[in-house]
Chain A
Protein backbone atom coordinates (compact mmCIF):
# COMPACT_ATOMS: atom_id res chain seq x y z
CA UNK A 1 0.00 0.00 0.00
CA UNK A 2 1.35 3.41 -0.87
CA UNK A 3 2.29 5.66 1.98
CA UNK A 4 0.39 8.63 0.52
CA UNK A 5 -2.82 6.61 0.65
CA UNK A 6 -1.98 5.51 4.20
CA UNK A 7 -1.52 9.13 5.25
CA UNK A 8 -4.68 10.28 3.47
CA UNK A 9 -6.65 7.48 5.12
CA UNK A 10 -5.24 8.43 8.51
CA UNK A 11 -6.29 12.05 8.01
CA UNK A 12 -9.78 10.91 7.01
CA UNK A 13 -10.10 8.91 10.24
CA UNK A 14 -8.77 11.88 12.19
CA UNK A 15 -11.16 14.31 10.48
CA UNK A 16 -14.26 13.94 12.71
CA UNK A 17 -12.20 14.61 15.85
CA UNK A 18 -10.48 17.60 14.26
CA UNK A 19 -13.78 19.09 13.02
CA UNK A 20 -15.34 18.83 16.48
CA UNK A 21 -12.22 20.21 18.18
CA UNK A 22 -12.17 23.20 15.83
CA UNK A 23 -15.86 23.81 16.54
CA UNK A 24 -15.75 23.57 20.34
CA UNK A 25 -12.16 24.72 21.07
CA UNK A 26 -10.54 26.36 18.04
CA UNK A 27 -13.33 28.73 17.10
CA UNK A 28 -14.16 29.79 20.69
CA UNK A 29 -10.48 30.49 21.34
CA UNK A 30 -10.19 32.70 18.25
CA UNK A 31 -13.41 34.42 19.25
CA UNK A 32 -12.06 35.03 22.76
CA UNK A 33 -9.01 36.70 21.18
CA UNK A 34 -11.30 38.92 19.09
CA UNK A 35 -13.49 39.77 22.06
CA UNK A 36 -10.48 40.71 24.17
CA UNK A 37 -9.88 43.74 21.93
CA UNK A 38 -13.45 45.04 22.33
CA UNK A 39 -15.63 46.46 25.07
CA UNK A 40 -18.36 43.87 24.31
CA UNK A 41 -20.92 42.99 26.96
CA UNK A 42 -22.04 39.40 27.57
CA UNK A 43 -25.45 40.09 26.03
CA UNK A 44 -26.18 42.49 23.21
CA UNK A 45 -24.17 43.48 20.16
CA UNK A 46 -20.48 43.15 19.38
CA UNK A 47 -18.99 46.18 21.12
CA UNK A 48 -16.32 48.54 19.84
CA UNK A 49 -12.67 47.92 19.09
CA UNK A 50 -10.58 49.27 21.96
CA UNK A 51 -7.10 47.97 21.08
CA UNK A 52 -5.05 46.76 24.02
CA UNK A 53 -7.04 48.79 26.58
CA UNK A 54 -8.51 45.70 28.27
CA UNK A 55 -5.05 44.20 28.67
CA UNK A 56 -3.40 47.33 30.03
CA UNK A 57 -6.31 48.01 32.38
CA UNK A 58 -6.26 44.43 33.66
CA UNK A 59 -2.51 44.17 34.10
CA UNK A 60 -2.33 47.47 35.96
CA UNK A 61 -5.28 46.77 38.27
CA UNK A 62 -4.59 45.88 41.88
CA UNK A 63 -7.28 43.18 41.62
CA UNK A 64 -5.17 41.33 39.09
CA UNK A 65 -1.88 41.47 40.98
CA UNK A 66 -3.52 40.44 44.24
CA UNK A 67 -5.34 37.57 42.54
CA UNK A 68 -2.13 36.44 40.85
CA UNK A 69 -0.42 36.29 44.25
CA UNK A 70 -3.34 34.32 45.75
CA UNK A 71 -3.35 31.86 42.84
CA UNK A 72 0.41 31.37 43.05
CA UNK A 73 0.25 30.79 46.81
CA UNK A 74 -2.56 28.28 46.37
CA UNK A 75 -0.78 26.43 43.54
CA UNK A 76 2.71 26.37 45.07
CA UNK A 77 1.71 25.39 48.60
CA UNK A 78 -0.93 22.81 47.70
CA UNK A 79 1.16 21.14 44.98
CA UNK A 80 4.30 21.09 47.15
CA UNK A 81 2.37 19.57 50.05
CA UNK A 82 0.73 17.00 47.75
CA UNK A 83 4.14 15.98 46.40
CA UNK A 84 5.77 15.59 49.82
CA UNK A 85 2.84 13.81 51.48
CA UNK A 86 2.26 11.72 48.35
CA UNK A 87 5.87 10.48 48.22
CA UNK A 88 5.88 9.75 51.97
CA UNK A 89 2.64 7.76 51.60
CA UNK A 90 4.12 5.87 48.63
CA UNK A 91 7.28 4.99 50.61
CA UNK A 92 5.02 3.66 53.37
CA UNK A 93 2.86 1.65 50.94
CA UNK A 94 6.04 0.17 49.46
CA UNK A 95 6.81 -1.47 52.85
CA UNK A 96 5.50 -4.91 53.78
CA UNK A 97 2.74 -4.89 56.38
CA UNK A 98 -0.62 -6.53 57.00
CA UNK A 99 -3.47 -4.62 55.40
CA UNK A 100 -1.26 -3.00 52.79
CA UNK A 101 -3.53 -4.02 49.88
CA UNK A 102 -6.59 -2.61 51.66
CA UNK A 103 -4.85 0.67 52.43
CA UNK A 104 -3.71 0.96 48.83
CA UNK A 105 -7.29 0.39 47.64
CA UNK A 106 -8.53 3.12 50.02
CA UNK A 107 -6.18 5.62 48.38
CA UNK A 108 -8.45 5.68 45.33
CA UNK A 109 -11.37 7.07 47.42
CA UNK A 110 -10.42 10.77 47.70
CA UNK A 111 -9.41 10.77 44.05
CA UNK A 112 -12.76 9.27 42.99
CA UNK A 113 -14.83 11.63 45.14
CA UNK A 114 -16.24 14.35 42.83
CA UNK A 115 -14.52 17.72 43.37
CA UNK A 116 -17.79 19.42 44.25
CA UNK A 117 -18.64 16.72 46.82
CA UNK A 118 -15.16 17.11 48.32
CA UNK A 119 -15.63 20.88 48.54
CA UNK A 120 -19.08 20.47 50.10
CA UNK A 121 -17.76 17.92 52.60
CA UNK A 122 -14.98 20.23 53.80
CA UNK A 123 -17.34 23.18 53.88
CA UNK A 124 -19.46 21.17 56.33
CA UNK A 125 -16.37 20.17 58.34
CA UNK A 126 -15.30 23.84 58.61
CA UNK A 127 -18.82 25.05 59.47
CA UNK A 128 -18.54 27.87 62.05
CA UNK A 129 -21.49 26.69 64.17
CA UNK A 130 -21.78 22.93 63.81
CA UNK A 131 -18.62 21.87 61.99
CA UNK A 132 -16.67 18.79 62.98
CA UNK A 133 -13.34 20.64 63.05
CA UNK A 134 -14.58 23.14 65.64
CA UNK A 135 -16.15 20.34 67.67
CA UNK A 136 -13.02 18.19 67.59
CA UNK A 137 -10.63 21.02 68.44
CA UNK A 138 -12.89 22.22 71.27
CA UNK A 139 -13.29 18.73 72.73
CA UNK A 140 -9.49 18.32 72.61
CA UNK A 141 -9.17 21.72 74.36
CA UNK A 142 -7.10 23.11 71.50
CA UNK A 143 -9.39 26.11 70.92
CA UNK A 144 -11.65 27.98 73.37
CA UNK A 145 -14.34 29.18 71.01
CA UNK A 146 -15.69 28.04 67.64
CA UNK A 147 -14.07 29.80 64.71
CA UNK A 148 -15.22 30.59 61.19
CA UNK A 149 -12.39 28.88 59.31
CA UNK A 150 -13.70 29.85 55.87
CA UNK A 151 -15.05 33.19 57.05
CA UNK A 152 -11.78 34.75 58.24
CA UNK A 153 -9.30 36.04 55.64
CA UNK A 154 -6.45 34.69 57.77
CA UNK A 155 -7.50 31.03 57.64
CA UNK A 156 -9.68 30.66 54.53
CA UNK A 157 -6.90 30.01 52.02
CA UNK A 158 -5.14 27.54 54.32
CA UNK A 159 -8.43 25.71 54.89
CA UNK A 160 -8.93 25.46 51.11
CA UNK A 161 -5.40 24.16 50.61
CA UNK A 162 -5.97 21.39 53.19
CA UNK A 163 -9.17 20.32 51.40
CA UNK A 164 -7.41 20.34 48.02
CA UNK A 165 -4.41 18.37 49.34
CA UNK A 166 -6.60 15.73 50.91
CA UNK A 167 -8.22 15.03 47.54
CA UNK A 168 -5.07 15.12 45.44
CA UNK A 169 -2.17 13.67 47.43
CA UNK A 170 -3.41 10.07 46.95
CA UNK A 171 -2.99 10.41 43.18
CA UNK A 172 0.63 11.49 43.63
CA UNK A 173 1.08 8.59 46.06
CA UNK A 174 -0.27 6.05 43.54
CA UNK A 175 1.94 7.39 40.75
CA UNK A 176 4.99 7.38 43.04
CA UNK A 177 4.15 3.88 44.27
CA UNK A 178 4.01 2.54 40.69
CA UNK A 179 7.45 4.07 40.09
CA UNK A 180 8.86 2.68 43.37
CA UNK A 181 7.77 -0.81 42.42
CA UNK A 182 9.82 -0.49 39.25
CA UNK A 183 13.04 -0.02 41.27
CA UNK A 184 14.98 -3.30 40.86
CA UNK A 185 15.38 -5.17 44.15
CA UNK A 186 19.06 -6.02 43.60
CA UNK A 187 19.94 -2.32 43.32
CA UNK A 188 18.50 -1.46 46.73
CA UNK A 189 20.11 -4.62 48.12
CA UNK A 190 23.48 -3.63 46.66
CA UNK A 191 23.28 -0.14 48.15
CA UNK A 192 22.54 -1.75 51.52
CA UNK A 193 25.63 -3.93 51.24
CA UNK A 194 27.63 -0.84 50.32
CA UNK A 195 26.51 0.68 53.61
CA UNK A 196 24.25 3.47 52.35
CA UNK A 197 22.04 4.98 55.06
CA UNK A 198 18.28 5.43 54.58
CA UNK A 199 18.62 9.05 53.45
CA UNK A 200 21.39 8.39 50.95
CA UNK A 201 19.54 5.35 49.70
CA UNK A 202 16.48 7.49 49.00
CA UNK A 203 18.46 10.34 47.49
CA UNK A 204 20.80 8.39 45.20
CA UNK A 205 19.15 5.03 44.58
CA UNK A 206 15.38 5.53 44.70
CA UNK A 207 14.84 9.18 43.75
CA UNK A 208 16.24 8.81 40.21
CA UNK A 209 13.51 6.24 39.51
CA UNK A 210 10.85 8.56 40.94
CA UNK A 211 12.03 11.74 39.23
CA UNK A 212 10.44 11.21 35.80
CA UNK A 213 6.92 10.17 36.87
CA UNK A 214 6.92 12.74 39.70
CA UNK A 215 7.86 15.53 37.32
CA UNK A 216 4.92 14.64 35.09
CA UNK A 217 2.60 14.59 38.11
CA UNK A 218 4.06 17.94 39.22
CA UNK A 219 3.41 19.51 35.82
CA UNK A 220 -0.18 18.27 35.58
CA UNK A 221 -1.02 19.21 39.18
CA UNK A 222 0.52 22.68 38.87
CA UNK A 223 -1.40 23.45 35.68
CA UNK A 224 -4.62 22.28 37.34
CA UNK A 225 -3.93 24.22 40.53
CA UNK A 226 -3.32 27.35 38.47
CA UNK A 227 -6.66 26.94 36.70
CA UNK A 228 -8.52 26.09 39.95
CA UNK A 229 -12.19 27.09 40.09
CA UNK A 230 -14.57 24.39 41.41
CA UNK A 231 -13.33 23.85 44.96
CA UNK A 232 -12.98 27.58 45.61
CA UNK A 233 -16.32 28.49 44.12
CA UNK A 234 -18.17 25.93 46.24
CA UNK A 235 -16.29 26.64 49.48
CA UNK A 236 -15.79 30.43 49.53
CA UNK A 237 -16.70 31.97 46.13
CA UNK A 238 -13.38 33.80 46.40
CA UNK A 239 -14.20 35.40 49.76
CA UNK A 240 -13.95 36.51 52.51
CA UNK A 241 -12.82 39.97 51.36
CA UNK A 242 -11.47 38.35 48.15
CA UNK A 243 -8.79 36.54 50.16
CA UNK A 244 -9.28 33.29 48.22
CA UNK A 245 -10.04 34.77 44.82
CA UNK A 246 -8.00 32.98 42.15
CA UNK A 247 -7.55 33.96 38.51
CA UNK A 248 -10.36 31.72 37.21
CA UNK A 249 -12.76 33.15 39.80
CA UNK A 250 -11.76 36.68 38.75
CA UNK A 251 -12.43 35.87 35.08
CA UNK A 252 -15.82 34.40 36.01
CA UNK A 253 -16.76 37.52 37.96
CA UNK A 254 -15.57 39.87 35.23
CA UNK A 255 -17.21 38.06 32.30
CA UNK A 256 -20.36 36.62 33.89
CA UNK A 257 -21.15 38.47 37.12
CA UNK A 258 -20.31 41.94 35.71
CA UNK A 259 -21.08 40.81 32.13
CA UNK A 260 -17.95 42.51 30.78
CA UNK A 261 -17.19 39.91 28.10
CA UNK A 262 -14.37 41.94 26.52
CA UNK A 263 -12.23 42.50 29.57
CA UNK A 264 -13.09 39.02 30.87
CA UNK A 265 -11.75 37.59 27.60
CA UNK A 266 -8.50 39.55 27.90
CA UNK A 267 -8.02 38.28 31.44
CA UNK A 268 -8.77 34.69 30.36
CA UNK A 269 -6.07 34.98 27.69
CA UNK A 270 -3.56 36.37 30.21
CA UNK A 271 -4.26 33.30 32.37
CA UNK A 272 -3.88 31.01 29.33
CA UNK A 273 -0.53 32.64 28.54
CA UNK A 274 0.69 32.18 32.12
CA UNK A 275 -0.30 28.50 32.11
CA UNK A 276 1.38 27.98 28.73
CA UNK A 277 4.63 29.59 29.92
CA UNK A 278 4.51 27.38 33.02
CA UNK A 279 3.89 24.27 30.93
CA UNK A 280 6.70 25.03 28.47
CA UNK A 281 9.16 25.74 31.27
CA UNK A 282 8.16 22.51 32.98
CA UNK A 283 8.38 20.51 29.75
CA UNK A 284 12.00 21.61 29.41
CA UNK A 285 12.60 20.57 33.02
CA UNK A 286 10.95 17.18 32.44
CA UNK A 287 13.17 16.54 29.45
CA UNK A 288 16.23 17.44 31.51
CA UNK A 289 15.14 15.19 34.41
CA UNK A 290 14.39 12.30 32.07
CA UNK A 291 17.82 12.80 30.47
CA UNK A 292 19.70 12.75 33.78
CA UNK A 293 17.76 9.74 35.10
CA UNK A 294 18.52 7.60 32.06
Chain B
Protein backbone atom coordinates (compact mmCIF):
# COMPACT_ATOMS: atom_id res chain seq x y z
CA UNK B 1 0.00 0.00 0.00
CA UNK B 2 1.32 3.40 -0.94
CA UNK B 3 1.71 6.01 1.80
CA UNK B 4 -0.91 8.73 1.72
CA UNK B 5 -0.43 12.34 2.63
CA UNK B 6 -2.60 13.58 5.55
CA UNK B 7 -4.36 15.99 3.19
CA UNK B 8 -5.36 13.10 0.93
CA UNK B 9 -6.64 11.10 3.90
CA UNK B 10 -8.82 14.02 4.97
CA UNK B 11 -10.04 14.37 1.40
CA UNK B 12 -11.02 10.67 1.33
CA UNK B 13 -12.99 10.98 4.57
CA UNK B 14 -14.77 14.15 3.44
CA UNK B 15 -15.79 12.44 0.20
CA UNK B 16 -16.92 9.32 2.09
CA UNK B 17 -19.11 11.43 4.39
CA UNK B 18 -20.55 13.27 1.40
CA UNK B 19 -21.36 9.99 -0.37
CA UNK B 20 -22.97 8.56 2.78
CA UNK B 21 -25.09 11.72 3.14
CA UNK B 22 -26.21 11.61 -0.50
CA UNK B 23 -27.26 7.97 -0.15
CA UNK B 24 -28.85 8.20 3.28
CA UNK B 25 -30.55 11.61 3.37
CA UNK B 26 -33.50 10.81 1.05
CA UNK B 27 -34.08 7.40 2.68
CA UNK B 28 -33.87 8.83 6.19
CA UNK B 29 -36.28 11.59 5.18
CA UNK B 30 -38.79 9.02 3.89
CA UNK B 31 -38.73 7.31 7.28
CA UNK B 32 -38.87 10.60 9.25
CA UNK B 33 -41.89 11.70 7.20
CA UNK B 34 -43.62 8.44 8.06
CA UNK B 35 -43.34 9.06 11.82
CA UNK B 36 -43.78 12.86 11.91
CA UNK B 37 -47.13 14.29 12.99
CA UNK B 38 -48.94 15.84 10.02
CA UNK B 39 -48.63 19.31 11.57
CA UNK B 40 -44.82 19.03 11.67
CA UNK B 41 -44.70 18.15 7.96
CA UNK B 42 -46.83 21.16 7.04
CA UNK B 43 -44.95 23.57 9.34
CA UNK B 44 -42.98 26.50 7.94
CA UNK B 45 -40.13 26.48 8.54
CA UNK B 46 -40.23 22.73 8.12
CA UNK B 47 -39.60 20.69 11.25
CA UNK B 48 -36.82 18.24 10.31
CA UNK B 49 -37.21 16.10 13.39
CA UNK B 50 -40.60 15.16 14.88
CA UNK B 51 -41.38 16.45 18.38
CA UNK B 52 -42.81 13.04 19.16
CA UNK B 53 -42.52 9.93 16.99
CA UNK B 54 -45.91 8.89 15.69
CA UNK B 55 -46.19 5.31 14.47
CA UNK B 56 -49.97 5.36 14.09
CA UNK B 57 -49.81 5.48 10.29
CA UNK B 58 -48.22 2.02 10.23
CA UNK B 59 -51.16 0.78 12.26
CA UNK B 60 -53.59 2.54 9.89
CA UNK B 61 -52.09 0.97 6.77
CA UNK B 62 -51.77 -2.51 8.22
CA UNK B 63 -55.28 -2.66 9.62
CA UNK B 64 -57.75 -4.66 7.61
CA UNK B 65 -60.94 -2.85 8.62
CA UNK B 66 -63.32 -2.73 5.69
CA UNK B 67 -63.22 0.28 3.31
CA UNK B 68 -60.29 1.85 5.15
CA UNK B 69 -56.99 3.02 3.68
CA UNK B 70 -55.59 -0.08 5.35
CA UNK B 71 -57.89 -2.46 3.45
CA UNK B 72 -56.68 -1.09 0.10
CA UNK B 73 -53.07 -1.27 1.23
CA UNK B 74 -53.15 -4.76 2.74
CA UNK B 75 -54.97 -6.20 -0.26
CA UNK B 76 -52.34 -4.73 -2.60
CA UNK B 77 -49.63 -6.12 -0.32
CA UNK B 78 -51.21 -9.57 -0.54
CA UNK B 79 -51.60 -9.28 -4.32
CA UNK B 80 -47.95 -8.28 -4.71
CA UNK B 81 -46.84 -11.24 -2.61
CA UNK B 82 -49.04 -13.68 -4.50
CA UNK B 83 -48.08 -12.41 -7.94
CA UNK B 84 -44.35 -12.25 -7.16
CA UNK B 85 -44.48 -15.75 -5.65
CA UNK B 86 -46.38 -17.35 -8.52
CA UNK B 87 -44.38 -15.61 -11.24
CA UNK B 88 -41.08 -16.54 -9.55
CA UNK B 89 -42.02 -20.22 -9.18
CA UNK B 90 -43.20 -20.40 -12.77
CA UNK B 91 -40.09 -18.62 -14.05
CA UNK B 92 -37.81 -21.04 -12.18
CA UNK B 93 -39.77 -24.04 -13.42
CA UNK B 94 -39.07 -22.86 -16.97
CA UNK B 95 -35.55 -21.59 -16.34
CA UNK B 96 -33.97 -24.59 -14.60
CA UNK B 97 -34.43 -27.17 -17.39
CA UNK B 98 -33.80 -24.59 -20.13
CA UNK B 99 -30.70 -23.20 -18.39
CA UNK B 100 -29.26 -26.69 -17.92
CA UNK B 101 -30.00 -27.67 -21.52
CA UNK B 102 -28.24 -24.59 -22.94
CA UNK B 103 -25.32 -24.98 -20.55
CA UNK B 104 -24.69 -28.60 -21.54
CA UNK B 105 -25.62 -28.31 -25.22
CA UNK B 106 -24.08 -25.12 -26.62
CA UNK B 107 -25.50 -25.97 -30.06
CA UNK B 108 -28.90 -24.68 -28.97
CA UNK B 109 -27.46 -21.57 -27.29
CA UNK B 110 -28.79 -19.30 -30.03
CA UNK B 111 -32.35 -19.94 -28.86
CA UNK B 112 -31.49 -18.54 -25.41
CA UNK B 113 -29.82 -15.54 -27.07
CA UNK B 114 -33.08 -14.85 -28.84
CA UNK B 115 -35.02 -15.11 -25.59
CA UNK B 116 -32.59 -12.72 -23.89
CA UNK B 117 -32.71 -10.27 -26.80
CA UNK B 118 -36.36 -9.65 -25.91
CA UNK B 119 -34.97 -7.56 -23.05
CA UNK B 120 -34.62 -4.75 -25.58
CA UNK B 121 -38.36 -4.73 -26.29
CA UNK B 122 -40.09 -1.87 -24.53
CA UNK B 123 -43.15 -3.25 -22.68
CA UNK B 124 -45.29 -0.82 -24.67
CA UNK B 125 -44.56 -2.94 -27.77
CA UNK B 126 -46.44 -5.88 -26.21
CA UNK B 127 -48.99 -4.03 -24.11
CA UNK B 128 -51.91 -3.69 -26.53
CA UNK B 129 -52.09 -7.36 -27.66
CA UNK B 130 -51.50 -8.53 -24.08
CA UNK B 131 -54.35 -6.30 -22.93
CA UNK B 132 -56.66 -7.67 -25.63
CA UNK B 133 -55.54 -11.26 -24.96
CA UNK B 134 -56.05 -11.05 -21.20
CA UNK B 135 -59.41 -9.40 -21.75
CA UNK B 136 -60.39 -12.25 -24.11
CA UNK B 137 -59.36 -14.87 -21.51
CA UNK B 138 -61.11 -13.01 -18.68
CA UNK B 139 -57.74 -12.51 -16.96
CA UNK B 140 -57.74 -8.71 -16.74
CA UNK B 141 -57.64 -7.51 -13.14
CA UNK B 142 -56.58 -11.00 -12.10
CA UNK B 143 -53.48 -12.09 -10.15
CA UNK B 144 -52.92 -15.13 -12.41
CA UNK B 145 -53.10 -12.96 -15.53
CA UNK B 146 -50.56 -10.49 -14.19
CA UNK B 147 -48.24 -13.28 -12.99
CA UNK B 148 -48.38 -14.77 -16.50
CA UNK B 149 -47.46 -11.42 -18.05
CA UNK B 150 -44.56 -11.04 -15.60
CA UNK B 151 -42.97 -14.12 -17.17
CA UNK B 152 -42.05 -11.83 -20.09
CA UNK B 153 -39.60 -10.14 -17.71
CA UNK B 154 -38.71 -12.89 -15.22
CA UNK B 155 -38.23 -15.95 -17.42
CA UNK B 156 -35.45 -14.63 -19.74
CA UNK B 157 -33.52 -13.18 -16.80
CA UNK B 158 -33.71 -16.26 -14.56
CA UNK B 159 -32.82 -18.58 -17.46
CA UNK B 160 -29.72 -16.54 -18.16
CA UNK B 161 -28.71 -16.64 -14.47
CA UNK B 162 -29.35 -20.39 -14.22
CA UNK B 163 -27.34 -21.04 -17.38
CA UNK B 164 -24.34 -19.15 -15.94
CA UNK B 165 -24.79 -21.14 -12.71
CA UNK B 166 -24.81 -24.52 -14.46
CA UNK B 167 -21.75 -23.42 -16.49
CA UNK B 168 -19.75 -23.29 -13.26
CA UNK B 169 -20.70 -26.87 -12.28
CA UNK B 170 -18.24 -29.22 -14.05
CA UNK B 171 -20.02 -31.67 -16.30
CA UNK B 172 -17.43 -34.32 -15.30
CA UNK B 173 -19.29 -34.70 -11.99
CA UNK B 174 -22.47 -35.57 -13.91
CA UNK B 175 -20.55 -37.93 -16.19
CA UNK B 176 -19.06 -39.73 -13.17
CA UNK B 177 -22.51 -40.28 -11.65
CA UNK B 178 -23.81 -41.64 -14.93
CA UNK B 179 -20.88 -44.06 -15.24
CA UNK B 180 -21.83 -45.27 -11.76
CA UNK B 181 -25.20 -46.17 -13.23
CA UNK B 182 -27.39 -43.19 -12.37
CA UNK B 183 -29.93 -42.15 -14.99
CA UNK B 184 -30.14 -38.59 -16.24
CA UNK B 185 -32.91 -37.42 -13.96
CA UNK B 186 -31.39 -39.20 -10.98
CA UNK B 187 -28.07 -37.47 -11.70
CA UNK B 188 -29.75 -34.09 -11.96
CA UNK B 189 -31.71 -34.65 -8.77
CA UNK B 190 -28.86 -36.02 -6.65
CA UNK B 191 -25.84 -34.18 -8.07
CA UNK B 192 -26.57 -31.15 -10.20
CA UNK B 193 -29.57 -29.49 -8.60
CA UNK B 194 -28.16 -29.53 -5.03
CA UNK B 195 -24.96 -27.99 -6.39
CA UNK B 196 -27.02 -25.37 -8.20
CA UNK B 197 -29.09 -24.53 -5.11
CA UNK B 198 -27.27 -21.21 -4.40
CA UNK B 199 -27.79 -20.06 -8.00
CA UNK B 200 -31.44 -21.02 -7.79
CA UNK B 201 -31.79 -18.97 -4.62
CA UNK B 202 -30.12 -15.95 -6.24
CA UNK B 203 -32.30 -16.29 -9.35
CA UNK B 204 -35.42 -16.56 -7.20
CA UNK B 205 -34.48 -13.42 -5.26
CA UNK B 206 -33.84 -11.44 -8.44
CA UNK B 207 -37.15 -12.65 -9.83
CA UNK B 208 -39.02 -11.61 -6.68
CA UNK B 209 -37.35 -8.18 -6.76
CA UNK B 210 -38.24 -7.68 -10.43
CA UNK B 211 -41.87 -8.69 -9.87
CA UNK B 212 -42.14 -6.56 -6.71
CA UNK B 213 -40.80 -3.54 -8.62
CA UNK B 214 -42.97 -3.89 -11.73
CA UNK B 215 -45.38 -1.04 -12.41
CA UNK B 216 -46.27 -0.61 -16.08
CA UNK B 217 -48.18 -3.86 -16.70
CA UNK B 218 -49.75 -3.68 -13.23
CA UNK B 219 -51.02 -0.17 -13.98
CA UNK B 220 -52.56 -1.32 -17.27
CA UNK B 221 -53.96 -4.71 -16.36
CA UNK B 222 -55.39 -4.21 -12.86
CA UNK B 223 -58.20 -1.95 -11.74
CA UNK B 224 -59.25 -2.73 -8.16
CA UNK B 225 -58.39 -4.51 -4.93
CA UNK B 226 -58.71 -7.94 -6.51
CA UNK B 227 -55.39 -7.58 -8.34
CA UNK B 228 -53.86 -4.11 -7.81
CA UNK B 229 -50.25 -4.43 -6.71
CA UNK B 230 -48.33 -2.36 -4.17
CA UNK B 231 -46.63 -0.24 -6.81
CA UNK B 232 -50.00 0.77 -8.27
CA UNK B 233 -51.46 1.39 -4.80
CA UNK B 234 -48.55 3.70 -3.97
CA UNK B 235 -48.80 5.55 -7.27
CA UNK B 236 -52.53 6.00 -6.53
CA UNK B 237 -51.69 7.43 -3.12
CA UNK B 238 -48.98 9.73 -4.51
CA UNK B 239 -51.15 10.97 -7.38
CA UNK B 240 -54.39 11.21 -5.41
CA UNK B 241 -55.71 13.82 -3.06
CA UNK B 242 -54.21 12.43 0.12
CA UNK B 243 -53.61 15.35 2.42
CA UNK B 244 -51.30 13.53 4.83
CA UNK B 245 -47.92 13.15 3.12
CA UNK B 246 -46.77 11.03 6.04
CA UNK B 247 -49.22 8.32 5.00
CA UNK B 248 -47.71 8.20 1.49
CA UNK B 249 -44.25 7.97 3.04
CA UNK B 250 -45.38 5.14 5.32
CA UNK B 251 -46.69 3.15 2.36
CA UNK B 252 -43.31 3.73 0.69
CA UNK B 253 -41.37 2.50 3.71
CA UNK B 254 -43.48 -0.65 3.96
CA UNK B 255 -43.15 -1.40 0.24
CA UNK B 256 -39.40 -0.79 0.32
CA UNK B 257 -38.75 -2.92 3.40
CA UNK B 258 -38.74 -6.42 1.81
CA UNK B 259 -36.45 -5.58 -1.16
CA UNK B 260 -34.13 -3.47 1.01
CA UNK B 261 -33.77 -6.30 3.54
CA UNK B 262 -33.16 -8.78 0.73
CA UNK B 263 -30.61 -6.38 -0.74
CA UNK B 264 -28.70 -5.96 2.51
CA UNK B 265 -28.70 -9.63 3.51
CA UNK B 266 -27.96 -11.00 0.05
CA UNK B 267 -25.52 -8.22 -0.88
CA UNK B 268 -22.70 -10.51 -1.99
CA UNK B 269 -24.83 -12.82 -4.10
CA UNK B 270 -26.73 -9.95 -5.69
CA UNK B 271 -23.59 -8.04 -6.61
CA UNK B 272 -21.94 -11.09 -8.13
CA UNK B 273 -25.13 -11.70 -10.09
CA UNK B 274 -25.22 -8.08 -11.26
CA UNK B 275 -21.56 -7.93 -12.21
CA UNK B 276 -21.19 -11.37 -13.80
CA UNK B 277 -22.68 -10.00 -17.00
CA UNK B 278 -20.21 -7.14 -16.91
CA UNK B 279 -17.16 -9.28 -16.26
CA UNK B 280 -18.01 -11.81 -18.91
CA UNK B 281 -18.89 -9.10 -21.43
State the A residues within 8 Å of B (CB).
Answer: 6-7, 9-11, 13-14, 16-18, 20-21, 24-25, 27-29, 31-32, 35, 42, 89, 92, 95-97, 99-100, 103, 105-117, 119-125, 127, 129-130, 132, 135, 138-139, 166, 170-171, 174-175, 178-179, 182, 189, 192, 212-217, 220, 223, 226-227, 229-230, 233-234, 237, 247-248, 251-252, 255-256, 261, 264-265, 268-269, 271-272, 275-276, 279, 286, 290
6 A-B interface contacts by CB (under 8 A): A35-B128, A108-B267, A114-B259, A121-B29, A124-B245, A139-B46
Q: Given A21-B118, A178-B275, A268-B127 in contact, is the A290-B97 Cβ separation under 8 Å? A: no
Q: Find chain A residues with CB under 8 A from B13 CB.
A: 97
Q: Find chain B residues with CB under 8 A from A106 CB.
A: 20, 23-24
B29 touches A125 (CB 8 A): yes
Q: Find chain B residues with CB under 8 A from A251 CB.
A: 122, 124, 127
Of B60-68, B192-200, B233-241, the one touching chain A: B233-241
Q: Given A17-B159, A227-B123 in contact, is the A234-B235 Cβ separation under 8 Å? A: yes
User: Quick one: CB contact mask for B251-281 with A, threshold 8 Å, 1 for yes?
Assistant: 1100110011011100100110011011101
In the complex formed, the residue of A with least CB distance to B276 is A178
Decide yes or no whether B130 CB sits under 8 A from chain A: yes
User: Quick one: CB contact mask for B151-163 with A, threshold 8 Å, 1 for yes?
Assistant: 1100110010000
Q: Find chain A residues with CB under 8 A from B42 CB.
A: 129-130
A27 touches B215 (CB 8 A): no
Q: Find chain A residues with CB under 8 A from B281 CB.
A: 212-213, 215-216, 286, 290
B111 touches A24 (CB 8 A): no
Q: How far is the CB of A185 from chain B (nearest CB, A)?
A: 9
Decide yes or no whether B100 CB sits under 8 A from chain A: yes
Decide yes or no whether B73 CB sits under 8 A from chain A: no
Q: Given A42-B131, A108-B264 in contact, is the A10-B122 Cβ separation under 8 Å? A: no
Decide yes or no whether B7 CB sits under 8 A from chain A: no
Q: Find chain B residues with CB under 8 A from A166 CB.
A: 22, 26
Q: Find chain A residues with CB under 8 A from B125 CB.
A: 28-29, 32, 268-269, 271-272
Instruction: Select which of A21, A29, A132, A182 is within 8 A of B29 by beta carbon.
Output: A132
CA distance A82 to B252 in the complex (A): 24
Instruction: Select which of B108, B112, B129, B270 is within 8 A of A28 by beta carbon.
Output: B129
B256 touches A113 (CB 8 A): yes
B108 touches A7 (CB 8 A): yes
Decide yes or no whether B16 CB sits under 8 A from chain A: yes
Q: Find chain B residues with CB under 8 A from A120 CB.
A: 234-235, 237-238, 248, 251-252
How many residues of chain B get a CB closer than 8 Å to chain A's CBs?
97
Q: Given A29-B125, A135-B45 in contact, is the A213-B275 Cβ separation under 8 Å? A: yes
Instruction: Select which of A9, A124, A139, A233 is within 8 A of B219 by beta carbon.
Output: A233
A117 touches B252 (CB 8 A): yes
Q: Find chain A residues with CB under 8 A from B235 CB.
A: 116, 119-120, 233-234
A175 touches B275 (CB 8 A): yes
B26 touches A175 (CB 8 A): no
Decide yes or no whether B173 CB sits under 8 A from chain A: no
CA distance A141 to B12 in the complex (A): 29
CA distance A101 to B183 in the complex (A): 46
Decide yes or no whether B149 CB sits under 8 A from chain A: yes
Instruction: Give the most central of B44, B275, B277: most A CB within 10 Å.
Output: B275
Q: Find chain B residues with CB under 8 A from A213 CB.
A: 275, 278-279, 281
In the complex formed, the residue of B with least CB distance to A169 is B22
Q: How far is the CB of A268 from chain B (nearest CB, A)?
A: 4
Q: How far is the CB of A6 from chain B (nearest CB, A)?
A: 6
Interface residues of B in 9-62 (CB under 8 A from A): 9, 12-13, 15-16, 19-20, 22-24, 26-27, 29-30, 33, 41-42, 44-46, 48
CA distance A110 to B19 in the complex (A): 12
